Amino acid sequence: MKVKDFLKNHKKKIIIISVSLAIVLVIGGGVVIYYLNSSRGNENLQFMQGGGNYAGMSLSGDVITASSVTSVGITQENFEVENLETELLIEEVYISSEEEIQEGTKILKLSEDSVTEAREELEAALRSADLAYRAGAIEYEQSKITAKYDRDAAVLSG
């Protein structure tokens, strides 16, 4: 009976202690998870800086390539343009391998002629796509008119 009396008399204190303990456990768990994730990230970073390729296997995740031109830190960037057949010629590369750069730093210079040619090619593809869209819209409206005419003819003959 003493336990029941104790619980009745100290109910608020027990709730406050339980909630405080839960908060401490959640915060402690978060700190442990953060520490484990950050230490894993440092191991991956050290491995990637050491070459990033081990026995023909590359690490994946957060990897972006720049058209086989350069590798920036642990990220590479690939630009795939399906409609572009023009090759963009690189005139000058402003960085060296394993050099750390900030976001927005210019890394290479493309030749003006190849950029102009690629722009014209993409503009022609855009015009072609616009014409195809308009032709499809006209064909759609024509089919609606034909269907309405067929329906009206069927109603009149029926």
Per-residue pLDDT of the chain (158 residues; tens, 9 = 90+): 576 776 677 778 888 888 888 898 889 888 888 878 776 655 544 444 444 444 444 444 555 444 444 444 545 556 666 667 788 888 888 887 777 888 888 888 888 898 899 889 889 989 999 999 999 999 999 999 999 999 999 999 87
Q: How many CB atoms lie within 10 A of CB 89?
A: 13
What total of structural domains would you count in the chain?
Answer: 2
My answer on whether 95 and 34 are in the same domain is no
The pair of structure tokens assigned to 74 is 């642990």
My answer on whether 19 and 72 are in the same domain is no
My answer on whether 47 and 74 are in the same domain is no
My answer on whether 67 and 136 are in the same domain is yes
My answer on whether 70 and 129 are in the same domain is yes
CA 78 to CA 70: how far, in whole Å? 10
The residues pairing with 58 across neighbouring beta strands, listed in sequence order, are 53
Give the length of the chain. Answer: 158
My answer on whether 88 and 111 are in the same domain is yes
My answer on whether 80 and 124 are in the same domain is yes
My answer on whether 140 and 65 are in the same domain is yes
My answer on whether 75 and 110 are in the same domain is yes
The residue range of the domain holding 151 is 60-157
Give the dihedral sign, CA 59/65/67/71.
negative
